[in-house]
Structure 1
Amino acid sequence: MEFALMFNVLDGGVSEPIEWNKESLSPDKSIIVLDETSQAIWLWHGTKRGLVQRRTALRQAESLKGHGYTIGKSIIGRNIRTINEIDSRKVGRVPEETEKDSQLQEILSKDFKVVDNYVVTFSVGEFETQKTKPTPAKKPEPKKLEAPVVKPKPQVKPLEPTKKPSQATKEYPEPKKGASVESPTLEKEKPDEDLLSQARVAFVIRALLDHFDDIWVSKKKDGSYSIEMIDGPVCQFSIKDTSLNFTANSFSGISQDIKNGIKKKYAELSKLL
Protein backbone atom coordinates (compact mmCIF):
# COMPACT_ATOMS: atom_id res chain seq x y z
CA MET A 1 0.00 0.00 0.00
CA GLU A 2 1.35 3.43 -0.98
CA PHE A 3 0.36 6.68 0.69
CA ALA A 4 0.50 10.44 0.15
CA LEU A 5 0.47 13.60 2.28
CA MET A 6 0.09 17.33 1.65
CA PHE A 7 1.90 20.05 3.65
CA ASN A 8 1.65 23.83 3.87
CA VAL A 9 5.03 25.52 4.47
CA LEU A 10 4.69 28.46 6.86
CA ASP A 11 6.92 31.55 6.66
CA GLY A 12 8.72 30.55 9.85
CA GLY A 13 10.12 27.44 8.16
CA VAL A 14 7.61 24.95 9.61
CA SER A 15 5.65 22.54 7.41
CA GLU A 16 2.26 21.41 8.71
CA PRO A 17 0.13 18.59 7.23
CA ILE A 18 -3.16 19.75 5.71
CA GLU A 19 -6.19 18.11 4.13
CA TRP A 20 -5.66 16.68 0.66
CA ASN A 21 -7.20 19.37 -1.52
CA LYS A 22 -6.26 20.63 -4.96
CA GLU A 23 -7.57 24.09 -4.01
CA SER A 24 -4.73 24.49 -1.49
CA LEU A 25 -2.45 25.50 -4.38
CA SER A 26 -2.99 29.25 -4.00
CA PRO A 27 -0.70 32.18 -5.05
CA ASP A 28 0.36 32.99 -1.47
CA LYS A 29 1.42 29.46 -0.46
CA SER A 30 4.22 26.95 -0.93
CA ILE A 31 2.74 23.44 -0.91
CA ILE A 32 4.62 20.15 -0.50
CA VAL A 33 3.06 16.94 -1.83
CA LEU A 34 4.73 13.74 -0.60
CA ASP A 35 3.68 10.92 -2.95
CA GLU A 36 4.92 7.35 -2.49
CA THR A 37 3.31 6.29 -5.79
CA SER A 38 5.67 8.44 -7.88
CA GLN A 39 8.46 8.14 -5.25
CA ALA A 40 8.80 11.92 -5.37
CA ILE A 41 8.19 15.11 -3.43
CA TRP A 42 6.41 17.85 -5.36
CA LEU A 43 7.21 21.38 -4.14
CA TRP A 44 4.80 23.92 -5.64
CA HIS A 45 5.34 27.70 -5.18
CA GLY A 46 2.58 30.28 -5.68
CA THR A 47 3.18 33.41 -7.75
CA LYS A 48 3.39 35.63 -4.65
CA ARG A 49 6.13 33.64 -2.93
CA GLY A 50 9.47 35.46 -2.65
CA LEU A 51 12.97 34.06 -2.98
CA VAL A 52 13.53 33.62 0.77
CA GLN A 53 10.17 31.87 1.20
CA ARG A 54 10.88 29.51 -1.70
CA ARG A 55 14.31 28.58 -0.33
CA THR A 56 12.83 27.96 3.13
CA ALA A 57 10.24 25.62 1.61
CA LEU A 58 12.96 23.79 -0.35
CA ARG A 59 14.85 23.05 2.89
CA GLN A 60 11.66 21.55 4.35
CA ALA A 61 11.21 19.39 1.24
CA GLU A 62 14.82 18.16 1.46
CA SER A 63 14.28 17.24 5.11
CA LEU A 64 11.19 15.18 4.22
CA LYS A 65 13.10 13.48 1.41
CA GLY A 66 15.86 12.45 3.77
CA HIS A 67 13.78 11.31 6.75
CA GLY A 68 10.17 10.86 5.63
CA TYR A 69 7.23 11.84 7.87
CA THR A 70 6.58 9.91 11.08
CA ILE A 71 3.00 9.18 12.18
CA GLY A 72 2.89 7.09 15.32
CA LYS A 73 5.18 4.11 14.68
CA SER A 74 4.96 4.46 10.90
CA ILE A 75 7.13 6.44 8.47
CA ILE A 76 5.56 7.85 5.30
CA GLY A 77 7.91 8.48 2.37
CA ARG A 78 10.96 6.38 3.28
CA ASN A 79 11.68 5.57 -0.37
CA ILE A 80 11.37 9.07 -1.85
CA ARG A 81 14.02 9.57 -4.56
CA THR A 82 13.53 13.03 -6.09
CA ILE A 83 12.23 16.54 -5.44
CA ASN A 84 10.29 18.21 -8.26
CA GLU A 85 10.21 21.97 -7.62
CA ILE A 86 7.58 23.97 -9.53
CA ASP A 87 7.51 27.77 -9.84
CA SER A 88 3.96 28.65 -10.90
CA ARG A 89 5.24 31.92 -12.44
CA LYS A 90 7.01 29.86 -15.11
CA VAL A 91 4.12 27.48 -15.85
CA GLY A 92 2.98 28.04 -19.43
CA ARG A 93 6.24 29.83 -20.33
CA VAL A 94 8.95 27.26 -19.53
CA PRO A 95 8.29 23.75 -20.96
CA GLU A 96 9.99 21.92 -18.09
CA GLU A 97 7.97 23.75 -15.42
CA THR A 98 4.76 23.24 -17.42
CA GLU A 99 5.39 19.48 -17.70
CA LYS A 100 6.06 19.08 -13.96
CA ASP A 101 2.94 21.09 -13.09
CA SER A 102 0.88 18.87 -15.42
CA GLN A 103 2.16 15.75 -13.64
CA LEU A 104 1.32 17.22 -10.23
CA GLN A 105 -2.19 18.18 -11.34
CA GLU A 106 -2.69 14.61 -12.55
CA ILE A 107 -1.75 13.27 -9.11
CA LEU A 108 -4.08 15.70 -7.33
CA SER A 109 -6.95 14.78 -9.66
CA LYS A 110 -6.88 11.07 -8.73
CA ASP A 111 -9.61 9.48 -6.63
CA PHE A 112 -8.32 9.07 -3.09
CA LYS A 113 -9.30 7.68 0.27
CA VAL A 114 -8.43 9.30 3.62
CA VAL A 115 -6.68 6.82 5.91
CA ASP A 116 -5.77 8.72 9.08
CA ASN A 117 -4.07 11.96 10.18
CA TYR A 118 -4.31 13.57 6.71
CA VAL A 119 -2.78 10.46 5.08
CA VAL A 120 -4.47 9.43 1.82
CA THR A 121 -4.15 6.49 -0.55
CA PHE A 122 -5.13 6.15 -4.17
CA SER A 123 -6.02 2.45 -3.83
CA VAL A 124 -9.78 1.75 -3.76
CA GLY A 125 -11.86 -1.17 -2.54
CA GLU A 126 -9.77 -2.03 0.51
CA PHE A 127 -11.27 0.36 3.04
CA GLU A 128 -14.94 -0.54 2.94
CA THR A 129 -14.85 -2.47 6.23
CA GLN A 130 -11.98 -0.83 8.11
CA LYS A 131 -9.26 1.78 7.72
CA THR A 132 -5.79 0.48 6.95
CA LYS A 133 -2.84 2.16 8.57
CA PRO A 134 0.68 2.30 7.11
CA THR A 135 2.92 -0.65 7.93
CA PRO A 136 5.01 0.17 11.01
CA ALA A 137 8.74 0.43 10.48
CA LYS A 138 10.76 -2.60 11.61
CA LYS A 139 12.88 -2.07 14.67
CA PRO A 140 16.57 -2.76 14.00
CA GLU A 141 17.95 -5.83 15.79
CA PRO A 142 20.55 -5.02 18.44
CA LYS A 143 24.09 -5.85 17.41
CA LYS A 144 26.41 -7.82 19.68
CA LEU A 145 29.26 -5.77 21.01
CA GLU A 146 32.62 -7.53 21.14
CA ALA A 147 35.25 -6.50 23.63
CA PRO A 148 38.16 -4.82 21.90
CA VAL A 149 41.41 -6.79 21.80
CA VAL A 150 44.12 -4.96 23.70
CA LYS A 151 47.53 -5.46 22.12
CA PRO A 152 50.61 -5.28 24.40
CA LYS A 153 52.63 -2.14 23.96
CA PRO A 154 56.00 -2.74 22.27
CA GLN A 155 59.06 -2.29 24.45
CA VAL A 156 61.14 0.72 23.57
CA LYS A 157 64.90 0.24 23.80
CA PRO A 158 66.96 3.22 24.97
CA LEU A 159 68.88 4.92 22.22
CA GLU A 160 72.65 4.67 22.31
CA PRO A 161 74.49 7.98 22.14
CA THR A 162 75.85 8.72 18.71
CA LYS A 163 79.57 9.06 18.29
CA LYS A 164 80.90 12.40 17.20
CA PRO A 165 82.78 12.39 13.90
CA SER A 166 86.52 12.45 14.26
CA GLN A 167 86.95 15.17 11.71
CA ALA A 168 84.63 18.02 10.87
CA THR A 169 83.29 17.86 7.33
CA LYS A 170 82.12 20.78 5.29
CA GLU A 171 78.45 20.75 4.39
CA TYR A 172 78.90 22.52 1.07
CA PRO A 173 82.00 22.35 -1.16
CA GLU A 174 83.70 25.64 -1.84
CA PRO A 175 83.17 26.88 -5.38
CA LYS A 176 86.22 27.10 -7.57
CA LYS A 177 87.67 30.53 -8.02
CA GLY A 178 86.65 32.24 -11.20
CA ALA A 179 83.76 29.85 -11.81
CA SER A 180 80.48 31.60 -12.58
CA VAL A 181 77.29 30.27 -10.99
CA GLU A 182 74.37 30.14 -13.42
CA SER A 183 70.87 30.65 -11.99
CA PRO A 184 68.30 28.11 -13.22
CA THR A 185 65.68 29.44 -15.61
CA LEU A 186 62.11 29.17 -14.29
CA GLU A 187 59.42 28.11 -16.72
CA LYS A 188 56.21 30.09 -16.56
CA GLU A 189 53.47 27.96 -15.05
CA LYS A 190 50.31 27.51 -17.04
CA PRO A 191 47.18 28.76 -15.24
CA ASP A 192 44.88 26.07 -13.86
CA GLU A 193 41.69 25.88 -15.94
CA ASP A 194 39.54 25.07 -12.90
CA LEU A 195 40.82 28.17 -11.08
CA LEU A 196 40.16 30.29 -14.18
CA SER A 197 36.58 29.00 -14.33
CA GLN A 198 36.02 29.75 -10.63
CA ALA A 199 37.44 33.24 -11.12
CA ARG A 200 35.03 33.96 -13.99
CA VAL A 201 32.07 32.80 -11.88
CA ALA A 202 33.24 35.11 -9.08
CA PHE A 203 33.52 37.99 -11.57
CA VAL A 204 29.88 37.51 -12.63
CA ILE A 205 28.73 37.55 -9.00
CA ARG A 206 30.84 40.64 -8.24
CA ALA A 207 29.43 42.46 -11.27
CA LEU A 208 25.84 41.64 -10.22
CA LEU A 209 26.41 42.87 -6.65
CA ASP A 210 27.04 46.35 -8.04
CA HIS A 211 23.35 46.46 -9.00
CA PHE A 212 21.54 44.01 -6.67
CA ASP A 213 21.93 43.89 -2.88
CA ASP A 214 20.49 40.39 -2.42
CA ILE A 215 21.20 37.51 -4.83
CA TRP A 216 21.04 33.71 -4.51
CA VAL A 217 23.61 31.54 -6.30
CA SER A 218 23.02 27.81 -6.76
CA LYS A 219 25.04 25.14 -8.57
CA LYS A 220 23.03 22.53 -10.45
CA LYS A 221 23.79 18.80 -10.73
CA ASP A 222 25.01 19.28 -14.33
CA GLY A 223 27.60 21.84 -13.18
CA SER A 224 25.72 24.92 -14.41
CA TYR A 225 25.05 27.95 -12.21
CA SER A 226 21.74 29.74 -11.56
CA ILE A 227 21.54 33.21 -10.03
CA GLU A 228 18.32 34.74 -8.67
CA MET A 229 17.34 37.96 -6.96
CA ILE A 230 14.37 38.66 -4.70
CA ASP A 231 12.07 39.31 -7.69
CA GLY A 232 13.03 36.20 -9.64
CA PRO A 233 15.76 34.66 -11.81
CA VAL A 234 18.61 36.79 -13.20
CA CYS A 235 20.71 34.43 -15.31
CA GLN A 236 21.86 30.86 -15.80
CA PHE A 237 25.13 29.74 -17.38
CA SER A 238 27.44 26.77 -17.86
CA ILE A 239 31.23 26.59 -18.18
CA LYS A 240 33.05 25.09 -21.17
CA ASP A 241 36.81 25.44 -21.66
CA THR A 242 36.88 28.30 -19.08
CA SER A 243 34.24 30.21 -21.12
CA LEU A 244 30.81 31.10 -19.73
CA ASN A 245 27.79 30.16 -21.85
CA PHE A 246 24.59 31.96 -20.76
CA THR A 247 21.12 30.63 -21.57
CA ALA A 248 18.90 32.51 -24.01
CA ASN A 249 16.56 33.85 -21.30
CA SER A 250 19.35 35.19 -19.05
CA PHE A 251 19.00 38.89 -18.06
CA SER A 252 15.64 38.98 -19.89
CA GLY A 253 13.87 41.01 -17.21
CA ILE A 254 16.69 43.52 -16.62
CA SER A 255 17.04 46.99 -18.16
CA GLN A 256 19.63 47.59 -20.85
CA ASP A 257 21.56 50.10 -18.69
CA ILE A 258 22.07 47.50 -15.95
CA LYS A 259 23.07 44.88 -18.55
CA ASN A 260 25.72 47.23 -19.95
CA GLY A 261 27.01 47.97 -16.44
CA ILE A 262 27.32 44.25 -15.67
CA LYS A 263 29.19 43.58 -18.95
CA LYS A 264 31.56 46.51 -18.33
CA LYS A 265 32.41 45.39 -14.79
CA TYR A 266 32.94 41.79 -15.91
CA ALA A 267 35.27 42.93 -18.72
CA GLU A 268 37.34 45.02 -16.28
CA LEU A 269 37.74 42.11 -13.85
CA SER A 270 38.61 39.66 -16.65
CA LYS A 271 41.69 41.75 -17.47
CA LEU A 272 43.18 40.55 -14.18
CA LEU A 273 43.50 36.99 -15.53
Structure 2
Amino acid sequence: MEFAIMFQVLEGGVSEPIKWSKDNLTPDNNIIILDEGSSSLFLWYGANQGLVSRRTALRQAESLKGHGFSVGKSIVGRDIRDLKEIDQRKIGRVLETDELNDELQTLLNKKFKPLDDYTVTFELEAEIPSAVKLVPKSQPERKIAPEPVPEPISKPEPIKKVAIPQPKMIHASEYDTVVETPKVAETIEKPIEKSAPVSVQKQTSFPESELALDIQAKIGFVIIGVLDHYDDIWISKKENGGYSVEHMDGKVCEFSISEGMIKFTSDSFSGISTNVKTEIQKKFVELSKFL
Protein backbone atom coordinates (compact mmCIF):
# COMPACT_ATOMS: atom_id res chain seq x y z
CA MET A 1 0.00 0.00 0.00
CA GLU A 2 1.18 3.51 -0.78
CA PHE A 3 0.63 6.42 1.58
CA ALA A 4 0.59 10.20 1.32
CA ILE A 5 1.04 12.94 3.93
CA MET A 6 0.74 16.73 3.77
CA PHE A 7 2.97 19.04 5.83
CA GLN A 8 2.92 22.74 6.62
CA VAL A 9 6.26 24.52 7.05
CA LEU A 10 6.12 26.86 10.03
CA GLU A 11 8.36 29.75 10.97
CA GLY A 12 11.62 28.69 12.53
CA GLY A 13 12.23 25.79 10.16
CA VAL A 14 9.68 23.34 11.58
CA SER A 15 7.29 21.26 9.49
CA GLU A 16 4.26 19.46 10.90
CA PRO A 17 1.76 17.06 9.31
CA ILE A 18 -1.68 18.51 8.67
CA LYS A 19 -5.06 17.24 7.51
CA TRP A 20 -5.07 16.25 3.85
CA SER A 21 -6.83 18.99 1.88
CA LYS A 22 -6.14 20.99 -1.26
CA ASP A 23 -7.49 24.03 0.60
CA ASN A 24 -4.14 24.24 2.41
CA LEU A 25 -2.46 25.46 -0.79
CA THR A 26 -2.86 29.18 -0.16
CA PRO A 27 -0.61 32.18 -0.92
CA ASP A 28 0.33 32.40 2.77
CA ASN A 29 1.52 28.80 3.16
CA ASN A 30 4.51 26.71 2.19
CA ILE A 31 3.18 23.15 1.86
CA ILE A 32 5.01 19.84 1.40
CA ILE A 33 3.11 16.86 -0.07
CA LEU A 34 4.73 13.45 0.30
CA ASP A 35 3.37 10.88 -2.16
CA GLU A 36 4.67 7.33 -2.14
CA GLY A 37 2.61 6.45 -5.22
CA SER A 38 4.69 8.64 -7.52
CA SER A 39 7.82 8.51 -5.32
CA SER A 40 7.64 12.29 -5.30
CA LEU A 41 7.78 15.14 -2.84
CA PHE A 42 5.88 18.25 -3.95
CA LEU A 43 6.89 21.60 -2.45
CA TRP A 44 4.31 24.38 -2.83
CA TYR A 45 5.58 27.94 -2.37
CA GLY A 46 2.76 30.35 -1.53
CA ALA A 47 2.83 33.58 -3.53
CA ASN A 48 3.16 35.70 -0.38
CA GLN A 49 6.13 33.78 1.02
CA GLY A 50 9.53 35.51 1.08
CA LEU A 51 12.91 34.20 0.07
CA VAL A 52 13.95 33.16 3.59
CA SER A 53 10.79 31.16 4.27
CA ARG A 54 11.06 29.50 0.85
CA ARG A 55 14.61 28.35 1.48
CA THR A 56 13.57 27.13 4.92
CA ALA A 57 10.80 25.09 3.32
CA LEU A 58 13.26 23.70 0.78
CA ARG A 59 15.55 22.46 3.55
CA GLN A 60 12.62 20.76 5.27
CA ALA A 61 11.58 19.10 2.01
CA GLU A 62 15.10 17.85 1.33
CA SER A 63 15.22 16.38 4.83
CA LEU A 64 11.95 14.51 4.29
CA LYS A 65 13.16 13.31 0.91
CA GLY A 66 16.26 11.83 2.47
CA HIS A 67 14.77 10.28 5.61
CA GLY A 68 11.01 9.94 5.21
CA PHE A 69 8.51 10.40 8.03
CA SER A 70 7.90 7.98 10.91
CA VAL A 71 4.33 6.82 11.40
CA GLY A 72 4.16 4.34 14.22
CA LYS A 73 6.70 1.62 13.51
CA SER A 74 6.85 2.34 9.79
CA ILE A 75 8.58 5.05 7.79
CA VAL A 76 6.52 6.74 5.09
CA GLY A 77 8.40 8.12 2.10
CA ARG A 78 11.70 6.34 2.61
CA ASP A 79 12.03 5.67 -1.14
CA ILE A 80 11.11 9.15 -2.37
CA ARG A 81 13.25 10.03 -5.40
CA ASP A 82 12.00 13.34 -6.84
CA LEU A 83 11.55 16.78 -5.30
CA LYS A 84 9.17 18.92 -7.37
CA GLU A 85 9.00 22.64 -6.56
CA ILE A 86 5.91 24.66 -7.49
CA ASP A 87 6.00 28.45 -7.16
CA GLN A 88 2.46 29.79 -7.10
CA ARG A 89 3.65 33.06 -8.64
CA LYS A 90 4.83 31.23 -11.77
CA ILE A 91 1.63 29.27 -12.39
CA GLY A 92 0.26 30.33 -15.76
CA ARG A 93 3.58 31.92 -16.69
CA VAL A 94 6.12 29.08 -16.76
CA LEU A 95 5.30 25.87 -18.63
CA GLU A 96 7.32 23.59 -16.36
CA THR A 97 5.56 24.98 -13.28
CA ASP A 98 2.16 24.45 -14.93
CA GLU A 99 3.00 20.81 -15.67
CA LEU A 100 4.07 20.14 -12.08
CA ASN A 101 0.99 21.92 -10.75
CA ASP A 102 -1.28 19.80 -12.97
CA GLU A 103 0.39 16.68 -11.60
CA LEU A 104 -0.14 17.90 -8.04
CA GLN A 105 -3.78 18.84 -8.64
CA THR A 106 -4.42 15.39 -10.12
CA LEU A 107 -3.06 13.85 -6.94
CA LEU A 108 -5.14 16.12 -4.69
CA ASN A 109 -8.32 15.38 -6.65
CA LYS A 110 -8.03 11.63 -6.13
CA LYS A 111 -10.42 9.89 -3.78
CA PHE A 112 -8.55 9.06 -0.61
CA LYS A 113 -9.10 7.20 2.62
CA PRO A 114 -7.71 8.68 5.86
CA LEU A 115 -5.81 6.23 8.05
CA ASP A 116 -5.26 8.65 10.93
CA ASP A 117 -5.29 12.42 11.47
CA TYR A 118 -2.96 13.11 8.55
CA THR A 119 -1.96 9.89 6.72
CA VAL A 120 -4.07 8.93 3.69
CA THR A 121 -4.07 6.19 1.10
CA PHE A 122 -5.57 6.02 -2.36
CA GLU A 123 -6.18 2.25 -2.35
CA LEU A 124 -9.44 0.61 -1.36
CA GLU A 125 -8.07 -2.00 1.04
CA ALA A 126 -6.09 -0.16 3.62
CA GLU A 127 -6.04 -2.11 6.84
CA ILE A 128 -4.65 -5.55 5.95
CA PRO A 129 -1.86 -4.50 3.57
CA SER A 130 -0.77 -1.78 5.96
CA ALA A 131 0.17 -4.36 8.56
CA VAL A 132 2.10 -6.26 5.95
CA LYS A 133 3.98 -3.18 4.91
CA LEU A 134 4.95 -2.24 8.42
CA VAL A 135 6.90 -5.47 8.88
CA PRO A 136 9.42 -5.05 6.06
CA LYS A 137 9.91 -1.40 6.89
CA SER A 138 10.84 -2.24 10.46
CA GLN A 139 13.37 -4.84 9.32
CA PRO A 140 15.97 -2.34 8.14
CA GLU A 141 15.86 -0.80 11.60
CA ARG A 142 16.84 -4.15 13.10
CA LYS A 143 19.73 -4.41 10.66
CA ILE A 144 21.06 -1.13 11.96
CA ALA A 145 21.35 -2.50 15.50
CA PRO A 146 24.13 -5.05 14.74
CA GLU A 147 26.26 -2.36 13.10
CA PRO A 148 27.76 -1.11 16.40
CA VAL A 149 28.93 -4.67 17.17
CA PRO A 150 32.08 -4.53 15.01
CA GLU A 151 33.04 -1.18 16.52
CA PRO A 152 34.07 -2.55 19.95
CA ILE A 153 35.98 -5.29 18.11
CA SER A 154 38.16 -2.67 16.49
CA LYS A 155 39.02 -1.15 19.87
CA PRO A 156 40.99 -4.16 21.23
CA GLU A 157 43.21 -4.07 18.13
CA PRO A 158 45.23 -1.06 19.27
CA ILE A 159 45.49 -2.72 22.71
CA LYS A 160 47.28 -5.64 21.09
CA LYS A 161 49.61 -3.23 19.37
CA VAL A 162 50.36 -1.55 22.67
CA ALA A 163 51.24 -4.92 24.16
CA ILE A 164 53.98 -5.38 21.55
CA PRO A 165 56.25 -2.56 22.75
CA GLN A 166 55.99 -3.76 26.35
CA PRO A 167 58.60 -6.51 25.91
CA LYS A 168 60.79 -3.87 24.28
CA MET A 169 60.65 -1.91 27.49
CA ILE A 170 61.88 -4.98 29.35
CA HIS A 171 64.87 -5.30 27.04
CA ALA A 172 65.51 -1.63 27.38
CA SER A 173 66.07 -1.98 31.09
CA GLU A 174 69.03 -4.23 30.39
CA TYR A 175 70.71 -1.63 28.17
CA ASP A 176 69.83 1.70 29.64
CA THR A 177 72.23 3.70 27.53
CA VAL A 178 70.93 2.25 24.27
CA VAL A 179 67.27 2.86 25.05
CA GLU A 180 67.61 6.40 26.31
CA THR A 181 68.78 7.75 22.98
CA PRO A 182 65.70 6.72 20.97
CA LYS A 183 63.46 8.19 23.68
CA VAL A 184 65.10 11.55 23.19
CA ALA A 185 64.64 11.25 19.44
CA GLU A 186 60.92 10.60 19.86
CA THR A 187 60.37 13.65 22.02
CA ILE A 188 62.16 15.80 19.45
CA GLU A 189 59.98 14.56 16.58
CA LYS A 190 56.69 15.32 18.31
CA PRO A 191 57.13 19.09 18.61
CA ILE A 192 58.24 19.17 14.97
CA GLU A 193 54.95 17.57 13.93
CA LYS A 194 52.98 20.05 16.04
CA SER A 195 54.71 22.99 14.42
CA ALA A 196 53.33 22.05 10.99
CA PRO A 197 49.66 22.85 11.72
CA VAL A 198 50.71 26.13 13.34
CA SER A 199 52.09 27.32 10.02
CA VAL A 200 48.89 26.21 8.27
CA GLN A 201 46.77 28.29 10.63
CA LYS A 202 48.83 31.34 9.80
CA GLN A 203 48.35 30.71 6.10
CA THR A 204 44.58 30.33 6.40
CA SER A 205 44.31 33.56 8.36
CA PHE A 206 45.71 35.72 5.54
CA PRO A 207 42.83 35.34 3.01
CA GLU A 208 40.36 36.71 5.54
CA SER A 209 41.87 40.18 5.18
CA GLU A 210 42.36 40.13 1.40
CA LEU A 211 39.71 42.74 0.68
CA ALA A 212 40.49 46.28 1.69
CA LEU A 213 37.84 48.31 3.46
CA ASP A 214 37.14 50.47 0.43
CA ILE A 215 36.52 47.36 -1.69
CA GLN A 216 34.16 45.97 0.92
CA ALA A 217 32.35 49.31 0.91
CA LYS A 218 31.98 49.20 -2.88
CA ILE A 219 30.50 45.71 -2.70
CA GLY A 220 28.02 47.08 -0.19
CA PHE A 221 27.15 49.92 -2.57
CA VAL A 222 26.18 47.42 -5.26
CA ILE A 223 23.99 45.51 -2.82
CA ILE A 224 22.31 48.73 -1.64
CA GLY A 225 21.53 49.59 -5.24
CA VAL A 226 19.97 46.16 -5.78
CA LEU A 227 17.90 46.40 -2.58
CA ASP A 228 16.29 49.57 -3.92
CA HIS A 229 14.48 47.33 -6.43
CA TYR A 230 14.29 43.86 -4.83
CA ASP A 231 13.28 43.06 -1.25
CA ASP A 232 14.57 39.48 -1.08
CA ILE A 233 18.02 38.78 -2.54
CA TRP A 234 20.60 36.00 -2.28
CA ILE A 235 24.32 36.84 -2.45
CA SER A 236 26.96 34.21 -3.14
CA LYS A 237 30.70 34.27 -3.70
CA LYS A 238 31.95 32.30 -6.69
CA GLU A 239 35.06 30.14 -6.89
CA ASN A 240 36.76 32.68 -9.15
CA GLY A 241 36.34 35.38 -6.51
CA GLY A 242 33.39 37.05 -8.20
CA TYR A 243 29.98 37.72 -6.68
CA SER A 244 26.47 36.83 -7.81
CA VAL A 245 23.27 38.53 -6.64
CA GLU A 246 19.97 36.73 -7.23
CA HIS A 247 16.33 37.12 -6.39
CA MET A 248 13.61 34.49 -6.40
CA ASP A 249 12.92 34.80 -10.13
CA GLY A 250 16.54 34.63 -11.24
CA LYS A 251 19.84 36.48 -11.46
CA VAL A 252 20.09 40.21 -10.76
CA CYS A 253 23.75 40.83 -11.48
CA GLU A 254 27.28 39.48 -11.35
CA PHE A 255 30.52 41.35 -10.78
CA SER A 256 34.16 40.74 -9.98
CA ILE A 257 36.99 42.59 -8.25
CA SER A 258 40.13 43.51 -10.14
CA GLU A 259 42.90 45.88 -9.11
CA GLY A 260 40.82 47.35 -6.33
CA MET A 261 37.80 48.07 -8.53
CA ILE A 262 34.36 46.56 -9.11
CA LYS A 263 34.21 45.12 -12.62
CA PHE A 264 30.95 44.63 -14.51
CA THR A 265 30.69 42.83 -17.86
CA SER A 266 28.19 43.13 -20.68
CA ASP A 267 26.32 40.14 -19.23
CA SER A 268 26.40 41.28 -15.61
CA PHE A 269 22.79 42.51 -15.69
CA SER A 270 21.41 40.23 -18.41
CA GLY A 271 18.63 38.94 -16.15
CA ILE A 272 16.93 42.29 -15.46
CA SER A 273 15.59 45.24 -17.43
CA THR A 274 17.85 47.99 -18.72
CA ASN A 275 16.13 50.63 -16.60
CA VAL A 276 16.75 48.76 -13.37
CA LYS A 277 20.34 48.09 -14.42
CA THR A 278 20.90 51.80 -15.02
CA GLU A 279 19.44 52.74 -11.65
CA ILE A 280 21.64 50.23 -9.81
CA GLN A 281 24.79 51.44 -11.55
CA LYS A 282 23.82 55.06 -10.94
CA LYS A 283 23.38 54.39 -7.23
CA PHE A 284 26.76 52.65 -7.12
CA VAL A 285 28.51 55.62 -8.72
CA GLU A 286 26.84 58.11 -6.38
CA LEU A 287 27.80 56.20 -3.24
CA SER A 288 31.35 55.62 -4.47
CA LYS A 289 31.94 59.38 -4.48
CA PHE A 290 31.96 59.33 -0.68
CA LEU A 291 35.11 57.20 -0.57
TM-score range, shorter chain: 0.5 to 0.7
- Selected match of 2:249 from 230, 233, 244: 233
Match of 1:24 in 2: 24
- AA at the equivalent of 1:57: A
Structure 1 match to 2:71: 71
How far, CA to CA, are the matches of 2:111 and 2:58 in structure 1?
27
User: 1:82 Cα shift?
Assistant: 2.7
Q: CA 1:24–1:204 in structure 2 vs 1: closer, same or farther (change >3 Å)?
A: same
Structure 1 unmatched runs, 5+: 161-202, 220-224, 269-273
Q: Which residue of 1 aligns with 2:98?
A: 98
CA distance in 2, matches of 1:254, 1:23: 40
Instruction: Tell me how far 1:119 sits from its aligned partner.
Output: 1.0
**Cα distance in 2 between the residues matched to 1:107 and 1:44:** 13
Inter-CA distance 39–264: structure 2 relative to 1 (3 Å threshold)? farther
Q: Deviations over 1:198-246 (max 9, x none)?
A: xxxxx98973344318522479xxxxx7711xxx4352689xxxx8857
Partner of 2:46: 46
Does structure 2 retain, via aligned residues, the 8 Å contact 1:40–1:81?
yes
- Given the superposition, is the C-alpha separation of residues 208 and 244 from structure 1 closer, same or farther in structure 2, using an over 3 Å criterion? farther
Residue 264 of structure 1: CA displacement? 6.9
Change (3 A) 1:244 1:25: farther
Task: Note if contact 1:41-1:80 (Cα within 8 Å) is conserved in structure 2.
Answer: yes
Contact 2:8 2:17 in 1 (8 A): yes
> What residue is the counterpart of 1:132 in the other structure?
130
- Equivalent residue for 1:56? 56
Q: Is 1:215 aligned to residue 255 of structure 2? A: no
Please report how far the alpha carbon of residue 132 of structure 1 lies from its aligned counterpart in structure 2 after TM superposition. Answer: 3.1
**CA separation in 1, counterparts of 2:220 and 2:96?**
26
CA distance in 2 between partners of 1:92 and 1:77 (Å): 30
Partner Cα distance (1:131, 1:81) in 2? 23
CA drift of 1:17 comes to 1.1
Change (3 A) 1:264 1:104: farther
Deviations 1:92-132 (A, max 9, x none): 112222222122112212222222241112222x14x7683
Aligned to 1:15: 15
Equivalent pair of 2:91/2:97 in contact (CA under 8 Å): yes
> Secondary structure at the residue paired with 2:4?
strand
Tell me whether 1:148 sits opposite 2:156 in the alignment. yes
Per mean C-alpha deviation after superposition, the further-off stretch among 97-106 and 23-32 is 97-106
Higher helix share: 2
TM-score by length of structure 2 reads 0.59
Q: Secondary structure at the match of 1:79?
A: coil
- The DSSP-based 3-state class of the residue aligned with 2:57 is helix
- Quote how far apart the aligned CAs of 1:5 are: 0.3
Structure with max Cα Rg = 1
- The answer as to 2:57 corresponding to 1:36 is no
The root-mean-square deviation of aligned C-alpha atoms, in Å, is: 3.8
Secondary structure of residue in 2 paired with 1:132: helix
Task: Give the secondary-structure state (helix, strand or coil) at the position aligned to 2:89.
Answer: coil
The question of whether the paired residues in 2 share the 8 Å contact of 1:251 and 1:259 is answered with no
Distance 1:254 1:84, change over 3 A: farther
- The 10-residue stretch of structure 1 (29-38 or 61-70) with the greater mean CA deviation from structure 2: 61-70
In the other structure, the counterpart of 1:251 is: 272
Unaligned runs of 5+ in 2: 170-177, 183-217, 238-243, 255-264
